[in-house]
Amino acid sequence: MGTRLQPLTNVLPKPLVPIFHEPMVNYALRHCQAAGIKDFAINTHHIPEAWQQAYPEAEYNGSPLHFFHEPTLLETGGGIRNIASFIGEDPILIYNGDILTDIDIGKLITSHDASGNIATLALRSSGQNCNVNIEGDQVTDMRNLLGDAPGTHQFTGIYCIEPEILKLIPDEQVTSIVPAFINLIEKQKLGAVVLDEGDWFDIGNPDAYREVHEHLRSGRNDAIHPDALIDPTAKVDRDTCVIGPGSKIAAHAKLTNTIVWPDAIVSTGAQLDGSIITD
């Protein structure tokens, strides 16, 4: 539902909220494609019609996108059960829809393939929610559910699974993936790869949304998109604003530290500082 990112998610599902001019999920899709993944399943629930509008051909950069709707939210385990027909007999990489990262998922995939584990988690050795314990390359506890000790590693929201994990997820139930992970820990079949190199952002709230834009600005020169229409009398602080393609900034508007989504309109004389303008 994207409640932490409201009010931005009042108009779009969280993975479709724009990050620097394009849907957040595009970054994840390209990240996976660079690691050799060519086929994608996407679970939908909140504002599902927005996905068809964003990807009318059900593909991205040559890769087919298969949409699986959840009329009722099925949680992290039920969501995997929901795409059982897509998984078939193949291993699969799960990638949460509200993160932006460039960690080495190729290393995760290679490690998982060689491990014999049923699932392998990508972890960070620091973060705001360190609730996973590891010993070597195996997970020994998470959320202190086995009473091991306070967690030491942050889960990234990215992991590999084998189809066998479906046997551990109750059929047609709203359920978390965590009980299946605990079962695998007890069988010594839940692996871990620590990937500290690269950036990792959880786009959970508007402050994190602004933070990731500030981070991306340092490596790009298109914060003011060339297809934005800015009236000559408008004043846009080019050092602090991100202005999306197709947006219109009307006469005498003044913008500072403001993010304007693609195709959004800023009206005549608007005075904006620290705002996010949706379409």
pLDDT digits (tens, 9 = 90+) for 217-245: 887 889 999 999 999 999 999 999 999 99
How far apart, in whole angstroms, are the C-alpha atoms of residue 211 and residue 236? 19
Beta-bridged to residue 141, according to DSSP, are: 133
Q: In a 3-state reduction of DSSP, which class is residue 58?
A: coil
Residue 91 tokens read as 């291993």
- Among residues 76, 211, 272, 273, the alpha carbon closest in space to that of 155 is found at 76
CB distance 144 to 151 below 8 Å: yes
The domain locations on the chain are 3-202, 222-277
| Distance, CA of 80 to CA of 103 (rounded, Å) | 23
The pLDDT tens digits for 5-29 are 888 889 999 999 999 999 999 999 9
- pLDDT score for 1: 65
Rg (CA), the chain: 21
What burial class does residue 183 get, using C-beta atoms within 10 Å of its C-beta: 0-12 exposed, 13-18 middle, 19+ buried? middle
- Whole-angstrom Cα distance, residue 43 to residue 251? 42
Question: pLDDT of 151-203, one tens digit each?
Answer: 999 999 999 999 999 999 998 789 999 999 999 999 999 999 999 999 999 99
Average pLDDT on 120-137 reads 95
146: how many CB neighbours lie within 10 A of its CB? 13
Which candidate, 216, 218, 257, 254, places its Cα nearest to that of 235?
A: 254
d(CA 176, CA 160): 16
- Predicted TM-score (pTM) of the model is 0.93
For residue 264, what pLDDT band results from cuts at 50, 70 and 90? very high
3-202 CATH choice from 1.10.490.10, 3.90.550.10, 3.30.420.40, 3.30.465.10:
3.90.550.10
- In sequence order, what are the residues at sequence separation of 6 or more whose Cβ sits closer than 8 angstroms to the Cβ of residue 77? 169, 170, 175, 176, 177, 178, 179, 180
pLDDT recorded at residue 115: 95
